[in-house]
Amino acid sequence: MAVNEHWMEVISPYDGSVVGRVPECTEDQVREAIRRASEAAPGMAAMPAYQRGAILNKAAQIIAGQVDDLGRLMARENGKPLKYSRAEALRAVDTFNFAADEARRLHGETIPLDASAAGVGKIGYFVRVPVGVIAAITPFNFPLNLSAHKIAPAIAAGCPVVMKPAPTTPMTVLRLAEILREAGLPDGAFEVVTGGADVGTWLTTDPRIAMISFTGSVPVARQITRTAGLRRVVLELGGNAATIIDEDANLDHAVSRNVIGSFSYSGQTCISVQRIYIHRSRYEEFRQKFLAAAEKLVVGDPLSDQTDIGPLINDGAADRIESWIAEAVGQGATVSLGGTRQGRLFQPTVLENVRPEMQLMCAEAFGPVVSLVPFDDFDDALAQADDSTFGLQAGVYTRDLNKAMRAVQRLNVGGVIINDVPTLRIDHMPYGGNKESGVGREGPRFAIEEMTTLKMVIINLGV
Ligand code: NAD
């Protein structure tokens, strides 16, 4: 990156210390990064599969050797407690290795053209070819693994990437760029441009960009799609995920998993559990066990191995959640646990007596707040869980196969998790949402499908 007079400080959301400084890119620098990526495109498209696979495996190996370091960097940069930030680094190892596997088996198909009289005497097949330069925009909450979910499949597909990380978490992505250079990725194949919304706009509106891969919030996604024109766009957006706990559920499992699902990384994940619907016959038992488990969570320094809940990303996020709790209480909700904060450190918070129209139920909380709701009828619980503008993932605890299959059929979400929380992503599965939770899917195999296009070949024999 060229020397720049404009620098941004990256500040720890926990203690306000300076984690680093990065350039605030100018429009010229963004254009220059896109130029370098465009120049790298033919080389990336021509790179043999074994080399793409080798670079991806090497990147995974380097990340595996730096799990602790990367974990600490993320804990400082975005306040994610060490136990979760190290886990994120380990997941990125998986993501790169899965993408390496996919690079080696990316292939087309033959088409039996003679199934039509018009095709007799012709051989037909298609291949997958890279779309070209990808603009990748990532959020603050998983700076390493969500960036990996864009750059790793792009390398597998043969596409260069210009990535704009969130302004709060650029350091991890710049480290990833170093790792990829060390792994042998050619110059220009991964460019990082740091800065805020302006940098994102310059990047996504440049005509040399073939595809936009965005992970973040709905309002920004709307802005991007307004100017995307005819380019391909993949959007991984927010949610207000629900778990349904039916009368025959394994309650201890449901309690421990929903505590993690609701409060890990302070609820700042797109599949954080925000609404729990519990069969009335088990409500009190679940409630007591859940409150007892949530109360034991340790809130504090993300760099401590003991910490379960670190700070929210900024004051605005803490203010918003505080005001949404106040609004819910004003409308009759009760706070059964937490509800208070010390600066950006928010206590794990549990609400009851909520109504569907409260913000904490119908909007994306993105904080350590969960609401408990009793239900009498399983199908009604399905309808309530599905009554959302979002549709990312849902969790359903039941041992009744018929009910489980009804849930799979009725819930309009990208993933239904039976007997576990919605907060579950294994990195090679198709992942993404319906409705306002997004368009398209990630997970290396599925992201590669989005990042490639089909080229049909017909050979007319006997000419
Ligand atoms: P955000 O939408 O505020 O920002 C995301 C990125 O977009 C940042 O890099 C930001 O600088 C950039 N940006 C802002 N304005 C832009 C513009 N006009 N043009 C281009 N880029 C622009 O999101 P955030 O606060 O960083 O992250 C939280 C959101 O991300 C939540 O809604 C969460 O649910 C979502 N998310 C979704 C997934 C998923 O896979 N579905 C995963 C993680 C987070």
Residue 221: C-alpha distances to residues 103, 139, 213, 349, 452 (Å): 29, 12, 10, 29, 22
Reference 321, options 390, 374, 283, 268; nearest CA is 268
CA distance 95 to 142: 13
Quote the tokens at residue 103. 């690079």
Quote the tokens at residue 319. 């203010």
Residue with CA closest to ligand 1 atom 16: 197
Residue with CA closest to ligand 1 atom 30: 216
In the reported structure, the alpha carbon of residue 252 is separated from the centroid of ligand 1 by a whole-number distance in angstroms of: 34
Reference 265, options 348, 340, 326; nearest CA is 348
Residue with CA closest to ligand 1 atom 8: 166
Q: How far is CA 434 from the centre of its chain?
A: 14
Residue 244: C-alpha distances to residues 146, 287, 414, 446 (Å): 27, 14, 16, 28
pLDDT value for 462: 87
Q: Is 216 in the pocket of ligand 1 (CB under 6 A)?
A: yes
> Helical H runs in 344-441?
359-362, 378-386, 401-410
CA distance 356 to 200: 34
pLDDT value for 1: 46
Reference 265, options 220, 292, 287, 297; nearest CA is 297
Q: Are 308 and 10 in contact (CB under 8 A)?
A: no
Cβ of 109: how many Cβ atoms within 10 Å? 10
Q: Is 158 in the pocket of ligand 1 (CB under 6 A)?
A: no
Question: Strand 345-346 relative to strand 415-418: parallel, antiparallel, unpaired?
Answer: unpaired
Q: Are 99 and 167 in contact (CB under 8 A)?
A: no
Q: Is 149 in the pocket of ligand 1 (CB under 6 A)?
A: no
CA distance 202 to 34: 10
Specify the DSSP class assigned to residue 23.
Answer: E
Specify the DSSP class assigned to residue 216.
Answer: S
Rg (CA), the chain: 23
All domains in the chain, ordered by first residue: 7-237+437-460 (3.40.605.10), 242-426 (3.40.309.10)
Residue with CA closest to ligand 1 atom 15: 197
With tokens 């693994």, the residue in question is 145
CA distance 172 to 131: 26
In the reported structure, the alpha carbon of residue 118 is separated from the centroid of ligand 1 by a whole-number distance in angstroms of: 49
pLDDT value for 4: 56
What residues are paired with 415 via a beta bridge? Answer: 393
Encoded amino acid at 82, one letter: L
Encoded amino acid at 139, one letter: P
Q: Is 4 in the pocket of ligand 1 (CB under 6 A)?
A: no
In the reported structure, the alpha carbon of residue 271 is separated from the centroid of ligand 1 by a whole-number distance in angstroms of: 14
In the reported structure, the alpha carbon of residue 169 is separated from the centroid of ligand 1 by a whole-number distance in angstroms of: 12
Cβ burial, residue 154 (10 Å; 0-12/13-18/19+): buried
Q: How do the pLDDT tens digits run along the chain, 463 residues long? A: 445 579 999 999 999 999 999 999 999 999 999 999 999 999 999 999 999 999 999 999 999 999 999 999 999 999 999 999 999 999 999 999 999 999 999 999 999 999 999 999 999 999 999 999 999 999 999 999 999 999 999 999 999 999 999 999 999 999 999 999 999 999 999 999 999 999 999 999 999 999 999 999 999 999 999 999 999 999 999 999 999 999 999 999 999 999 999 999 999 999 999 999 999 999 999 999 999 999 999 999 999 999 999 999 999 999 999 999 999 999 999 999 999 999 999 999 999 999 999 999 999 999 999 999 999 999 999 999 999 999 999 999 999 999 999 999 999 999 999 999 999 999 999 999 999 999 999 999 999 999 999 999 999 998 9
**Active-site annotation, residues:** 236, 270
SS3 at position 441: coil
